[in-house]
Amino acid sequence: MAPELQEENYTTGSAEPPQKTRVTVVGSGNWGSVAAKLIASNTRRLSSFHDEVRMWVFEETLPSGEKLTDAINRNNENVKYLPGIKLGKNVVADPDLENAVNGANMLVFVTPHQFMEGICRRLVGKVKADVEAISLIKGMEVKMEGPCMISTLISDQLGINCCVLMGANIANEIAVEKFSEATVGYREKKEIAQKWVQLFNTSYFIVTPVQDVEGVELCGTLKNVVAIAAGFVDGLEMGNNTKAAIMRIGLREMKAFSKMLFPSVKDTTFFESCGVADLITTCLGGRNRKVAEAFARNEGKRSFDELEAEMLQGQKLQGVSTAKEVYEVLSHRGWLDFFPLFATVHEICIGTLPPTAIVEHSERTPKM
């Protein structure tokens, strides 16, 4: 009887209508813009969400002299990072971080991982404790006490729950609505994971919840290191057999590293979209593979920083910095011999080894 009474009170106007959930996307690069497009398509049709989706933009001045935020709001399009794709008229770009998150109940973090610590510092005290967050960010912070996943950084610094979303998600393909899948990793509250699924899921972007935050997040993080290795193989024209071998070794090391750091990580997670599927698509396409291929073709004589600036138009590589962070963890814990591929990728990136070392060193049997 209680639900019927509640409904009757609502219809007669004696009860407050339920508050609509407001969503803010923190980040506006290639993937951030696609995430905003996906979310905006759902907030328009779901009555439990406020239509407007705010998107925080790190302000830039375009060659025309116009501010990037103004261009996005005028064109309904991120003309720099996702040109030619309409985001939805309910997406509003905002260059003021604090204003963008003000009043939001759900925060979607999607920026290069190296900027997240600074962003979290700016948001301390500006976000309510009951806000829910999700990280689409691949990477980790390495501190003296050990590695810190980005979802943990967000939870610890802002005092809020944080899920993760990872998967075989090349942004430009999702932007034109080609079929794709993703995985939401959650800790305890499945109903929160289902709300994120509801917010992201579309007919062409299928999202599945998995109770394994660390496993999902580490898959999304570590596959970029393997993609760098795959790019070296492509640049050296070693062929598909070699690339497949590198991907297999990489998946083995991803699983071993994840479970050594977090024994709770589930084996089944590696068979979700965030695992083997993301590894495959990132090693076949994606910016990490692309720039690593150019690095190998230039025999390591041009730096990753130089190639990134030339090839990515302001976007950031994640694989090189993640390889460094992983190497620091392996070195500190005495695990280098267990992970020959991960170690070799970093040593090639910093010039200690030539690109050809990717097969000479990675094929060693790890000393488990």
CA 216 – CA 271 distance, rounded (Å): 10
- What is the structure's pLDDT at 1? 33
Q: Give binding residues for substrate as ranges.
A: 138, 287-288
How many helices (H) and strands (E) the chain has is answered by 16, 10
Q: Calculate the CA dihedral of residues 109, 131, 175, 32 and round it to 10 degrees.
A: -20
- What is the structure's pLDDT at 363? 57
- What is the structure's pLDDT at 312? 86
- What is the structure's pLDDT at 10? 32
Q: Is the pLDDT of residue 2 over 50?
A: no
Q: Is the pLDDT of residue 193 over 90?
A: yes
- What is the structure's pLDDT at 205? 98
pLDDT digits (tens, 9 = 90+) for 230-272: 999 999 999 999 999 999 999 999 999 999 999 999 999 999 9
The domain made up of 216-357 is a member of CATH 1.10.1040.10? yes
- What is the structure's pLDDT at 360? 84
Q: Is 223 known to be catalytic? A: yes
- What is the structure's pLDDT at 216? 97
Question: Over the chain, what is the mean pLDDT?
Answer: 91
Residue 16: pLDDT band (50, 70, 90) is low
- Report the DSSP beta bridge partners of residue 199: none
Residue 19: pLDDT band (50, 70, 90) is confident
Per the model's pLDDT, the better-predicted residue between 18 and 212 turns out to be 212
Question: Cβ-count burial of 12 within 10 angstroms (0-12 exposed, 13-18 middle, 19+ buried)?
Answer: exposed
- Tell me the CATH number of domain 21-211, given options 3.40.718.10, 1.10.150.130, 3.40.50.720, 3.50.50.60: 3.40.50.720
For 91-128, letters b (16+ CB in 10 Å) and e give bbbbbebeebbeebbbbbbbbbbeebeebbeebeeebe
Per the model's pLDDT, the better-predicted residue between 194 and 8 turns out to be 194
Domain-wise residue ranges, the chain: 21-211, 216-357
Is the Cβ–Cβ distance between 280 and 169 less than 8 Å? no
How far is residue 139 from each of residues 62, 189, 318, measured CA to CA in Å?
28, 24, 7
How far is residue 229 from each of residues 35, 128, 157, 246, measured CA to CA in Å?
27, 42, 33, 7
Q: Is the pLDDT of residue 160 over 60?
A: yes
CA 193 – CA 189 distance, rounded (Å): 7
**DSSP letter, residue 367:** -
State the catalytic residue, choosing from 37, 80, 223, 290.
223
Is the Cβ–Cβ distance between 215 and 259 less than 8 Å? no
CA 205 – CA 41 distance, rounded (Å): 12
End-to-end alpha carbon distance in the chain:
62
Q: Give binding residues for NAD(+) as ranges.
A: 27-32, 58, 115, 171, 287, 316, 318
Q: Is the pLDDT of residue 48 over 50?
A: yes
pLDDT digits (tens, 9 = 90+) for 62-86: 999 999 999 999 999 999 999 999 9
In 3D, which of 250, 220, 251 has the Cα closest to residue 358? 250
Least confident of 34-43, 145-154, 157-166, 338-347: 145-154
- What is the structure's pLDDT at 365? 58
- What is the structure's pLDDT at 316? 77
- What is the structure's pLDDT at 8? 32
- What is the structure's pLDDT at 6? 32
Least confident of 17-26, 112-121, 341-350, 357-366: 357-366
Q: Give binding residues as ranges.
A: 27-32, 58, 115, 138, 171, 287-288, 316, 318
Work out the angle at residue 80's Cα, subtended by the Cα atoms of residues 75 and 84, and round it to the nearest 5 degrees: 55
Residue 147: pLDDT band (50, 70, 90) is confident
Instruction: Give me the half-sphere count of Cα atoms (radius 13 Å) on the Cβ side of residue 350.
Output: 12
- What is the structure's pLDDT at 141? 80
50 φ, ψ (degrees, to nearest 5): -70, 140
- What is the structure's pLDDT at 11? 38
Q: Is the pLDDT of residue 209 over 50?
A: yes
CA 139 – CA 204 distance, rounded (Å): 26
Is the Cβ–Cβ distance between 144 and 193 less than 8 Å? no
What percentage of the chain reaches a pLDDT higher than 90? 83
Amino acid at 326: V
Q: Is the pLDDT of residue 18 over 90?
A: no
Q: How far is CA 103 from the centre of its chain?
A: 24
